[in-house]
Amino acid sequence: MTGLLALVPLVAGAATVLWARGNFLVAHVRGASMSPAHRPGDKVLVRRLPPGRIRPGDVVVADVVVTGLWPGAPGSVPGRTGALGSVRERVVKRVAAVPGDPVPAAVPRRADETSIPDGCFILLGDNSRFSIDSRHFGYVPAAAMIGKVVRPLASASRPI
């Protein structure tokens, strides 16, 4: 019986680790698009949430597809801007609008659209001068939303 009691903390610890891995992740901030709130190189703790629990103003992590000209893309000429292609990027951005909200003026839309369609979000960087966001890649589908940033973690620019 004593041997079984000794296993309780081990099993509880393992269950906690599995729960945390399924519900949280660490994301890295790349670029200055979220400065000054989050700087390049910062790490943030992200809680996985269903898209229905994400609200305007939340800082989120999402996987988006960005289409454009990329240096070093297949078919690009050295020294030139690059070739047209699509790149899947994991981004840290602020939610500007959720389904049903008005489409922000800065975001391209079809003439008949006045509100964000169901299942879509608008993500914008805090530092618009350095941000590739919904102004460039459009609506972000709910399936691309990973979770909400709950706190910054230690980084070179932000020690604990």
Give me the active site residues, please. 33, 93
What span, in angstroms and rounded, lies between the C-alpha atoms of 133 and 49?
Answer: 21
The answer to whether the Cα torsion of 4, 5, 9, 12 is positive or negative is: positive
Task: Specify burial of residue 32 (Cβ count, 10 A radius: 0-12, 13-18, 19+).
Answer: middle
Q: CB-based contacts of 12: which residues, under 8 Å, 6+ apart?
A: none
The answer to whether the Cα torsion of 122, 90, 148, 48 is positive or negative is: positive
Q: Can you name the residues that pair with 148 across neighbouring β-strands?
A: 47, 60
Burial 100-110 (b: 16+ CB within 10 A, else e): eeebeeebebe
What span, in angstroms and rounded, lies between the C-alpha atoms of 130 and 125?
Answer: 8
